[in-house]
A = this chain, B = another copy of it.
């Protein structure tokens, strides 16, 4: 198989042995694999793969076709169109993964585009549902809303019946974000005035929290931190948290157990896949790159100012 490979922070495409699927696993011929911020960090040596995953092949998400089944796989057949998240190794022609963590790709969705669905939507779904406990009619704030997770969070919030406020630095994105489901799009400086919020998907980090978010919360608000590009050290007012009964939490998806990923996939299958099949949810795509132009893809991602996913097409 061919695999994007990191050697001393340099990306190349190398040939290596195609793995055989172990018990409960499948071998997937990858059609598309989305880029994520974690890949950029991993290339810089800042975010090593968790134990059990390839150390030098980046890629947290993929969509493709099942090429072989390991022993004891139930519910899937060779040729099935599937997508999923992995701890690494997705930016390759082939990837093996546990079948319980897979989602089926709706017939209506392009298989390459589907490679940009799993990571952002799983991250946003887990933050909003499993950590944020969003209820219909509640007010959801998504900061740093123009990225992959942000646009997924806007769509999921709208799908679940929330009133969605999207915060972005570049207000020229307004129309696109409204089209995805945002009830309003605000500049970070106006986050406080557009509040209060019940659930916050915090994709920026410390600067965002202290410059408005923490002062714009409803009682019982849940603030879920899943991005810290805007700083990691935040000063919180404990008395304010107590008075408002605020919950501040954070997580990453990558290092989670197979069982937990399977649990999230099962919930997404029920809640998100019908909407994805109908087109209520969509994967905004900024650009596709072939494996051979992986360096250009990473450069484009790092340049920022993007709305939509960058996807490697295999």
Query: Interface majority SS on A: helix, strand, loop or mixed?
Result: mixed
Residue A228 lies at the interface, judged by CB distance under 8 Å to chain B: yes
The CA-CA distance from A209 to B241 in the complex, in Å, is 14
Binds B, one of A57-65, A85-93, A232-240, A284-292: A232-240
Chain B residue with the shortest CB-CB distance to A243: B252
A248:B251 contact, CB within 8 angstroms: no
Residue A25 lies at the interface, judged by CB distance under 8 Å to chain B: no
The complex is assembled from copies of this chain, and their number is 2
Identify which of A225, A231, A238, A247 gathers the most chain B CB atoms within 10 Å of its CB: A238
The CA-CA distance from A249 to B223 in the complex, in Å, is 10
B251:A249 contact, CB within 8 angstroms: no
Chain B residue with the shortest CB-CB distance to A255: B243
B249:A247 contact, CB within 8 angstroms: yes
Task: Determine which of B209, B237, B245, B252 lies in contact with A251 in the assembled complex, contact meaning CB atoms within 8 Å.
Answer: B245
Interface residues of A (CB under 8 A from B): 205-206, 209, 225-226, 228, 231-243, 245-252
A-B contact pairs, 16 of them (CB 8 A): A226-B242, A228-B238, A228-B239, A231-B238, A232-B237, A233-B236, A234-B238, A235-B236, A236-B248, A238-B250, A241-B250, A245-B250, A245-B252, A247-B248, A248-B248, A248-B249
